[in-house]
Copies of this chain bind each other. A is one copy, B any other.
Amino acid sequence: MPVPDALRQRLAEVADLAHAAAVLEWDQETYMPPGGAEARGRQIATLRRFAHERFVDERVGEWIEGAEGEGDLDRALLRVTARDWRRATLLPGRLVAEKAEASARAKGAWKAAREADRFDLFAPHLEQILSLAREEADLVRPLVAGERGSAYAPSDADARYDALLDAYEPGASAAGVAAVFGELREGLVPLVAAVAEAEPPDDAFLRRPFDADAQWAFGLDIAQALGYSLDHGRQDRSAHPFTTAFGVTDVRITTRVDPDFFPTAFFSTVHEAGHGIYEQGFAPELAGTPLADGASLGVHESQSRLYENLVARSAPFWKWAYPMLQARFPHLGDVPRKAFVRAVNKVEPSLIRVEADELTYHLHVLLRFELERALLAGDLAVDDLPAAWNERMAEYLGVVPPSDADGCLQDIHWSLGAVGYFPTYTLGTLMSAQLWTAADDDLDGLDAQLEAGAFEPLLGWLRDKVHRWGRAKTAGQILRDATGQDLEAGPWLAYARGKVERLYGVTA
């Protein structure tokens, strides 16, 4: 039996509803007048509810059940759709509603707690979020375990974490992440400590007035040079940068501009352009199906970080781009290129994840992974979180938050119910270095291409190995087919060590 047309139509309809909701969310963050917020919340909820109801319909299950699929693409479609459908139907409406309510309350409490620097105001909400996460995990566990086969026998607590992590990074496990992250920690903590001892680069010239329109134009020029298409995308301003897709042919990015600090808009533009390039690169035949999405959040992040860091923070890239930047901002005329490259690669342990540099960022993530894994398992009591947080900050980064507001209350994610989400930032970064290494091999050296502003070979390689597949390959398959390896920390650590040695003259 081929994939029935009724199934295809239903999936296209669900995609239309989800994309419509995404348009409304995009508008909410970019152009919506303040008074429109309440009605907008209801409109989005209505669209999301319709999309959900049309998808969890019993008939969808029957259509999947009855089909086998002809060709790889249809088989992938059935595999991914069946998985999404089973996961969606495992959660009772009651739990989904409870989660939404708990998270709405927790979000408000988190904001108040952070403002007042009072963790005790947030603690009971985090407790409830964790309790609902355990409930969800227990419902989803059989599905995840069933797929992984008899060799999969994690501890009870890790089976729960796996079930949650799987929603963001299908196929990943707490134990696997912990092993890779352990290797990363071993290498990264001493590296960061060594950098902290070294003379920091001067970046005062980045903290000058940079004309906002010129920043905008420069970022967008670079994004397009890298491969982001304005025929199928656009860039707008928002308080928090993001990428969103209304289909393969309309993938938008947002950024914010700091008129007195160059890196904010530029690296965020390139980061989001990386996400956007990925989604613009899905094969057209995936459109309107669940395959037209990132293989995992990690793979998604691998593309944004690859463009942001491995391309746009590299010395070869600036050899090409720096004269253009100087032409736009004449006050950089007396800043040597090497000083500029050092400045945009400044490494400095700090308190806030979202402001962290390329290297120390991952110690923030490691800490969150370890703590949420322990919280979920019950090995760490919610009340003990602030102390555990500060202890690890001291151990990994050598800095201790002066307040919980700058410590364990800094991120919104847990209040939203996102447990098992943080690791994907670092998983993606590790992948980005693995992919880079393989591309560098396959394309006979990327540095010379970056120096020449020739980004097409890299784009072509990524299109072929990563983008076009969407979810038709799993993250693991993509990585293995592109690099011949599973997830590893080594390539990224080698990259990080090389950069530190070149820029700081220190080794660790």
Chain B residues whose C-beta falls within 8 Å of the C-beta of A12 in the assembled complex: 42
* Inter-subunit contact B249/A16 (CB<8 Å): no
In the complex, A418 has a CB within 8 A of chain B: no
A43 near B20 (CB under 8 angstroms)?
Answer: yes
Q: For window 6-34 of chain A, which residues contact chain B by CB distance below 8 Å?
A: 12-13, 16-17, 19-21, 23-24, 27, 31-34
Q: Are A233 and B33 in contact (CB under 8 A)?
A: yes
- The listed residue (B13, B24, B31, B233) touching A236 by CB distance below 8 A is B31
Query: Given the complex of chains A and B, what is the CA–CA distance between A60 and B38 in angstroms?
Result: 26
C-alpha spacing A429/B67, complex, angstroms: 61
Say if the beta carbon of A50 comes within 8 Å of chain B. yes
The answer to whether A36 touches B236, judged by C-beta atoms less than 8 angstroms apart, is: no
Chain B residues whose CB sits within 8 angstroms of the CB of A287 once the complex forms:
39
Beyond A17-B46, A23-B27, A47-B16, whether A36 also contacts B247 by CB under 8 A is yes
- What DSSP secondary structure best describes chain A's contact surface? helix
Interface string of A364-399 (1 = CB under 8 A from B): 000000000000000000000000000000000000
Residue of B nearest to A34 (CB): B231
Q: Per-residue 0/1 for A34-55: is the Cβ within 8 Å of any B Cβ (1 yes, 0 no)?
A: 1110111011001100100000
- Residue A87 interfacial (CB < 8 Å): no
Q: Shortest Cβ distance from A216 into chain B, in angstroms?
A: 15
Q: A232 interface residue, CB < 8 Å from B?
A: yes
Nearest CB to that of A54 among chain B residues?
B50
3 nearest CB pairs, A to B: A36-B250, A39-B247, A16-B46
Write the residues of chain A forming the contact surface with B, with a CB cutoff of 8 angstroms: 12-13, 16-17, 19-21, 23-24, 27, 31-36, 38-40, 42-43, 46-47, 50, 229-234, 236, 246-250, 252, 287
Can you name 6 A-B pairs with beta carbons within 8 Å? A16-B42, A16-B43, A31-B236, A33-B232, A35-B250, A36-B246
Please name 14 further chain A to chain B contacts, defined as beta carbons within 8 Å, in addition to the given A23-B23, A36-B247, A39-B249, sorted by A numbering.
A20-B20, A20-B21, A20-B43, A23-B27, A31-B31, A31-B236, A32-B250, A33-B234, A36-B246, A39-B250, A39-B287, A40-B246, A40-B247, A43-B247
